[in-house]
């Protein structure tokens, strides 16, 4: 199994990558995302004061897809050094829970990423990227999907594409 990470500057680029992954036979439960709450709320086409997005992928009368669909039903929480974030996907939830455990406040997301197997430099870039409004998209999948994964990330302007050593 492999885990690839990519950092996106724009919500639209990350959304296109998620849609591309889903179109190339990646399952929605293989995709993970961490981003600031304000970035998601400003980018999503929804009235956050009046509706709740359900995991059924439906928003009012409109079906949600891509990144909007992944974020549906998620609740934001405080992440040290970053502020309020959404984390969706099993690995994203694991990493962010590790980052908020008592005693891990000093390291936050960066320390959790290092513990997961990323280099200190890469983990710092990813944490700073999310702090500065970027979106960290990563996925865990079977080895034979590696070339498709890299291609989708590159086509959609992912920066700092890394494979975790785990």
Angle between helix axes 120-131 and 108-116 (nearest 10 degrees) is 140
Distances (CA, A) of 145 to 29, 30, 47: 15, 11, 36
The H-or-E segment that residue 74 falls in is: none
Of 43 and 160, more confident? 43
What span, in angstroms and rounded, lies between the C-alpha atoms of 113 and 98? 9
When pLDDT is cut at 50, 70 and 90, the band that residue 87 belongs to is: very high
Per residue in 101-160, pLDDT (tens digit) is 766 546 789 989 998 889 999 999 999 999 999 999 988 777 777 777 778 878 887 787
Stated as kind and residue range, the H or E segment containing 79 is: strand 77-79
| CA 93, chain centre distance (Å) | 10
13: confidence class by pLDDT, cuts 50, 70, 90? very high
Rounded to 5 degrees, φ, ψ at 58 are: -115, 135
Is residue 117 packed enough to be buried (19+ CB in 10 Å), middle (13-18) or exposed (0-12)?
middle
pTM for this predicted structure: 0.82
């Amino acid at each position: 199994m492999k885990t690839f990470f990519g950092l996106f500057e724009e919500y639209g680029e990350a959304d296109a990558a998620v849609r591309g992954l889903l179109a190339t036979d990646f399952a929605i439960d293989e995709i993970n995302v961490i981003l600031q709450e304000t970035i998601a709320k400003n980018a999503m086409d929804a009235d956050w004061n009046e509706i709740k997005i359900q995991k059924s992928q439906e928003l009012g009368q409109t079906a949600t897809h891509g990144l909007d669909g992944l974020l549906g039903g998620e609740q934001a929480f405080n992440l040290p050094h970053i502020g309020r974030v959404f984390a969706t996907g099993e690995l994203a939830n694991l990493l962010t829970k590790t980052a908020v455990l008592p005693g891990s406040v000093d390291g936050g997301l960066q320390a959790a990423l290092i513990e997961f197997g990323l280099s200190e430099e890469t983990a710092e870039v990813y944490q700073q990227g999310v702090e500065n409004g970027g979106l960290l998209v990563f996925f865990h999948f079977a080895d034979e999907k590696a070339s498709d994964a890299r291609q989708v990330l590159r086509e959609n302007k992912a920066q700092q594409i890394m494979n975790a050593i785990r």
